Structure 1
Amino acid sequence: MANSELTKSSVTTQNIVQKLWNLCHVLRDDGVSYQEYVTELTFLLFLKMMEETGREDRILDGYRWSDIAGREGVDQLDHYKRALLDLGKAADPVVQSIFTDAQTKLRKPANLKTLTTAIDSLDWFSAREEGLGELYEGLLEKNAAEKKSGAGQYFTPRPLIDCIVRLMKPQAGEVIEDPAAGTAGFLVAADRYIKDHTDDLYNLTPAEAFFQRNNAFVGIELVPDTHRLALMNLMLHGIEGPITLGDSLSPDGEALGKADLILTNPPFGTKKGGGRPSRADFSVTAETSNKQLAFVEHIVRALKPGGRAAVVLPDNVLFEDNTGKRLRQWAMELADLHTILRLPTGIFYAQGVKTNVLFLTRGKADRANTKGVWVYDLRANMPAFGKTRPLRADDFAAFEAAYGDDPDGGAARADEGPEGRFRYFSRADITARNDNLDIAWLRDNSDAAEDDLSDPEDIAAAILGHLRAALAEVEAVDAELAGEEAVLAEVEA
């Protein structure tokens, strides 16, 4: 596609997304919060997009788009409520999953009519030409960028996702997993990469093409409303893989099976109530309520021998003692933890949370797989990212060049020395650091970067991020203390 066509196409999607987002004012007038907005809109968009794509045979008779949009007043609102209830019992498993326990927050019939009329008036011809999946993903991205929505915790920035996918090079025929699927951004990006590199699947056999559509992408999402968004996003991109509603730190995660590639940004913090993973196959993190540590154990165990993973994790996974240290030692035995990317602050919804991407490959044997770790510091002396300075693809260009073409980190690399961003640390170096992988060497002159934030929403998000980070640390300490008290109580008993 020519650049001018690409620009025109992108502008078309942006315009439609903005019109959809403007409908949030109608929903807010009816008491619908930002957190509920996209879920509410998803129900209506699903029905409309089934009409636009000629797949209304998946929808129960009487509840298709025209059956709802053509009604007026209280009759329309009542019929829409019945539709949500009955579609949650549909025979089609995807339709059923999207509408299970669905409820509308709309109370005023006039507002529903405004929504259906506005949706009908959109430029659906252009949307179909560009791809309805791109349109819906744009809406999810818009919601995540809206600080007041709080949705950023489920949406990894697209430039970061695309960078990771380019480095991991997903292949047709591989099982690709996200155990914390969110809105399925990683899986959609992996599918896009595979299609771009396999002539959009046309050069696959019918059996191989069926596998790509139905079995190549697997995952779990814990939050019901986010699970709906993930299913909708995947379906509009031609993916109908088994993305289930559940908890990867329970037997649900064990049932996922083995994967060739894992791409994920798991939730940070502790399990509610200080609960521990309920996995029979867990040993290292069986007694911790720290979710990110437990997800690391899941990832290492879920990879096939030779399988690879890229996972976004907070700093504490790199330096935490006790369970954290045992986990790092265990993971470096079973897998080659070959690269760590220290991410800039401010690229997620919680600006106070410092994060990294860990790249690893599961060994063919279970001993001494990590010979050394390459660390790329993209955090020191970086801009203050936010609404006024969003993250861009070219922010990762130097890292991608340094990483090389081998997904397993085996390409020729150059240590840039103490003044550079990319350095190598042998396993002996790491042992000398008490297996602490929180390695920084550059003098960071951007400590005051948040003072440079100019957008009030960015400033508020930064403050909120620091508060959330502090609260997460308090919760972790409290959970560990509660665990120690329980053990003491058992001993005394």
Structure 2
Amino acid sequence: MNAAARPTTSRAELTAVIKRARNIMRKDPGLNGDADRIPQLSWLLFLKSLDDHEKSRELVEDDYRPVIDEPFRWRDWAGPDVSKPRTGESLTGFVNNELLPHLAGLRGLARQGRERDVVAQVFSDVHNRMLSGYLLAELVEQIDRVNFNSSDDLHTMALVYESMLKEMRDSAGDAGEFYTPRPVVRFMVDMLDPQIGETVMDPAAGTGGFLVEAHEHVKTKVSSVQDRERTRGTIRGFEKKPQPFLLGQMNLLLHNAHEPAVVRGNALLPSLTEQKDDGVDIVLTNPPFGGEEEASVVKSFPVGMRTSETSWLFLQAVMARIDRSRGRAAVVVPNSTLFDKGIGAAIKKKLLTEFDLHTVVRLPNGVFEPYTAIPSNLLFFEAGRPTRDVWFYELPLPEGRKKYTKTKPLRYEEFADLATWWGSPGAGTERREDRTENDHAWTVPVEQIVERGYDLDLRNPHQADSLENRPVAEILDELVEVEKEILELLQGLRAEVGSGARR
């Protein structure tokens, strides 16, 4: 049956397929928990989705040459029309000794160059962990039931993909990785408003959430073949871990991103000069919080700006990427970024002196639950001019709520008032000229921030003076002063007791 005639997959059927696939994998002694099962399912789904995608292109492009050649295409060894289906040792032998080494060794040639390089990167760390070739054959049969090549099935695939990401996110906190909620991603993309032809980068791409959202945003503006051509290669990124990289590539593939240039590697390895020369128009990212980089990476940063704290290094890298192109950025940062002193203050000085940090969105508690309870903020800044004033906007919790939870997460609709207050999305100060202060928004002159030692952890002056609304640094300073006073009182009492004893 050809790609055009094959029926779509209903959501109910797809749910049943994935359930059966997971049950099959649970029986295999080579797979221990989701840490093994999710990667196994992911690379097989990637090959199936790529093959369906290529079948679709072959129908409309007379000179199209598949990225993967015979006999390594999914249809050649796993599809329903295979004359001699493999199973048992024949299947595991083919997969382990022929298929995976071939895919990992692909090199770019002619028009398929970039796609082949991507496949090679994806499969450079892929291993078949299933020991039973019979169970693997059953799993392949289930995956082959999913049809990826119709627009309806893209919506259906979202169920599979979200299910996998949910499983991945639920176990990600232990590794210090936190995935950005979709409403936050969408808001950040909408406010930066990527245009046709603009390059968009995420230096910590993960599973591709920002890049896919940016692609979908730009796609709504495309109205001609020429527009489509101008989007070629404008999606860029880095991801150094193999599993998120694989899922991100599949995500971009399924959304028909036009030759995305996402590399498996560490975005912090190039020097800041190299990153500046390789600039982009837009950076959207949620870099790792609290991580540490190896010494060789830290040494590539300027003296006085060196730190092993990953989020500070990424912030410098983002500034370098948008500087040459006079671009714009939106970055998720923890509260500590706002009040950190020392090297943190030096980096913030550079940010305020060389860039326009025009908006800081203070997110409410629990936005990143259950992965982390760390309070977070969104920094929006543009290259080409220094900061004069910083607008702060405190996104409120829904009435009656104290925090977001796993079962009651943030919704995109809750950004509506902020989006209205924002002004016109996109680049340029003129788009934000009509902003006014309200219960949630206030502006601070840059001179005041400089006087505070580049402390951006500023409380909302329109809200009650409660511990919940006060900056962490301010509370800590007061606690230190109280402790000092207590210590002085104790020392005084101790002196009196000593004096009495001598009398």
* TM > 0.5 fold call: yes
TM-score (normalised: structure 1): 0.77
CA contact (8 A) 1:313 1:356 kept: yes
CA contact (8 A) 1:143 1:149 kept: no
Which residue is 1:6 aligned to? none
Note the C-alpha offset of 1:135.
5.7
| SS of structure 1 residue aligned to 2:196 | coil
Q: Could you report, residue by residue, the CA deviation over 1:20-68 in whole angstroms, capped at 9, with x for unpaired residues?
A: 3663343344324323433222221122123322348222312222443
Instruction: State the alpha-carbon separation in 1 of the partners of residues 436 and 467 from structure 2.
Output: 26
CA contact (8 A) 2:449 2:456 kept: yes
Instruction: State the alpha-carbon separation in 2 of the partners of residues 19 and 175 from structure 1.
Output: 38
Instruction: State the alpha-carbon separation in 2 of the partners of residues 142 and 177 from structure 1.
Output: 24
Pairwise mapping of residues 328-343 of structure 1 onto structure 2 (< 5 A)?
328-343=348-363
The gaps in structure 2 that reach 5 residues or longer are 1-7, 56-64, 79-84, 108-115, 469-503
| SS of structure 1 residue aligned to 2:122 | helix
Which residue is 1:300 aligned to? 319
Instruction: State the alpha-carbon separation in 1 of the partners of residues 176 and 16 from structure 2.
Output: 18
Instruction: State the alpha-carbon separation in 1 of the partners of residues 156 and 143 from structure 2.
Output: 13
Q: Could you report, residue by residue, the CA deviation over 1:339-383 in whole angstroms, capped at 9, with x for unpaired residues?
A: 01112233325332111110000125xxxx111111111266755
Note the C-alpha offset of 1:12.
5.1
Pairwise mapping of residues 95-106 of structure 1 onto structure 2 (< 5 A)?
95-106=119-130
Instruction: State the alpha-carbon separation in 2 of the partners of residues 267 and 254 from structure 1.
Output: 22
CA contact (8 A) 1:179 1:221 kept: yes
**Per the alignment, do residues 58 and 131 of structure 1 end up closer, same or farther by CA in structure 2, a change over 3 Å counting?**
farther
CA contact (8 A) 1:127 1:135 kept: no
Instruction: State the alpha-carbon separation in 1 of the partners of residues 297 and 91 from structure 2.
Output: 46
Note the C-alpha offset of 1:331.
0.6
**Per the alignment, do residues 310 and 34 of structure 1 end up closer, same or farther by CA in structure 2, a change over 3 Å counting?**
same
Which residue is 1:403 aligned to? 422
Which residue is 1:413 aligned to? 435
Q: Could you report, residue by residue, the CA deviation over 1:70-101 in whole angstroms, capped at 9, with x for unpaired residues?
A: 32222122222231122111232122122113
CA contact (8 A) 2:200 2:211 kept: yes
**Per the alignment, do residues 65 and 277 of structure 1 end up closer, same or farther by CA in structure 2, a change over 3 Å counting?**
same
CA contact (8 A) 1:176 1:216 kept: yes
CA contact (8 A) 2:333 2:379 kept: yes
Which residue is 1:467 aligned to? none
**Per the alignment, do residues 15 and 321 of structure 1 end up closer, same or farther by CA in structure 2, a change over 3 Å counting?**
farther
CA contact (8 A) 2:390 2:445 kept: yes
The two structures, once aligned, show a CA RMSD in angstroms of 3.0
Which residue is 2:40 aligned to? 40
Matched, 1:216 2:226: no
Instruction: State the alpha-carbon separation in 2 of the partners of residues 12 and 253 from structure 1.
Output: 49
Which residue is 2:441 aligned to? 422
Note the C-alpha offset of 1:327.
0.9
Instruction: State the alpha-carbon separation in 2 of the partners of residues 389 and 283 from structure 1.
Output: 45
Matched, 1:370 2:391: no
**Per the alignment, do residues 191 and 273 of structure 1 end up closer, same or farther by CA in structure 2, a change over 3 Å counting?**
closer
Q: Which residue identity does 1:52 align to in structure 2?
A: D
Matched, 1:79 2:94: yes
Instruction: State the alpha-carbon separation in 1 of the partners of residues 367 and 351 from structure 2.
Output: 27
| SS of structure 1 residue aligned to 2:54 | coil
CA contact (8 A) 2:178 2:371 kept: no
Which residue is 1:249 aligned to? 268
Instruction: State the alpha-carbon separation in 2 of the partners of residues 252 and 231 from structure 1.
Output: 26
Q: Could you report, residue by residue, the CA deviation over 1:247-282 in whole angstroms, capped at 9, with x for unpaired residues?
A: 1221177645111111011111232556652436x4
**Per the alignment, do residues 314 and 222 of structure 1 end up closer, same or farther by CA in structure 2, a change over 3 Å counting?**
same
Note the C-alpha offset of 1:427.
1.2
The gaps in structure 1 that reach 5 residues or longer are 1-8, 448-493
Q: Match for 1:319 among 308, 328, 339?
A: 339
Q: What is the identity percentage for the equivalent residue pairs of Structure 1 and Structure 2?
A: 28
Q: Could you report, residue by residue, the CA deviation over 1:281-302 in whole angstroms, capped at 9, with x for unpaired residues?
A: x4552x2111111111111111
**Per the alignment, do residues 168 and 273 of structure 1 end up closer, same or farther by CA in structure 2, a change over 3 Å counting?**
closer
Matched, 1:310 2:326: no
Note the C-alpha offset of 1:390.
2.2
**Per the alignment, do residues 391 and 95 of structure 1 end up closer, same or farther by CA in structure 2, a change over 3 Å counting?**
same
Matched, 1:183 2:200: no
Which residue is 1:351 aligned to? 372
Note the C-alpha offset of 1:140.
4.6
**Per the alignment, do residues 430 and 446 of structure 1 end up closer, same or farther by CA in structure 2, a change over 3 Å counting?**
closer
CA contact (8 A) 1:328 1:435 kept: yes
Q: Could you report, residue by residue, the CA deviation over 1:163-208 in whole angstroms, capped at 9, with x for unpaired residues?
A: 1111110001111111111111111111100111223xxx242xx5
Q: Which residue identity does 2:253 align to in structure 1?
A: M
**Per the alignment, do residues 54 and 249 of structure 1 end up closer, same or farther by CA in structure 2, a change over 3 Å counting?**
closer
Note the C-alpha offset of 1:230.
1.9
CA contact (8 A) 2:173 2:372 kept: no
Q: Could you report, residue by residue, the CA deviation over 1:426-447 in whole angstroms, capped at 9, with x for unpaired residues?
A: 1133234332101223459897
Note the C-alpha offset of 1:16.
3.0
**Per the alignment, do residues 66 and 311 of structure 1 end up closer, same or farther by CA in structure 2, a change over 3 Å counting?**
same
Note the C-alpha offset of 1:316.
1.0
**Per the alignment, do residues 347 and 75 of structure 1 end up closer, same or farther by CA in structure 2, a change over 3 Å counting?**
farther
| SS of structure 1 residue aligned to 2:367 | coil
Which residue is 1:465 aligned to? none
Q: Which residue identity does 1:314 align to in structure 2?
A: P
Q: Match for 2:187 among 151, 157, 163?
A: 163
Q: Which residue identity does 1:378 align to in structure 2?
A: L
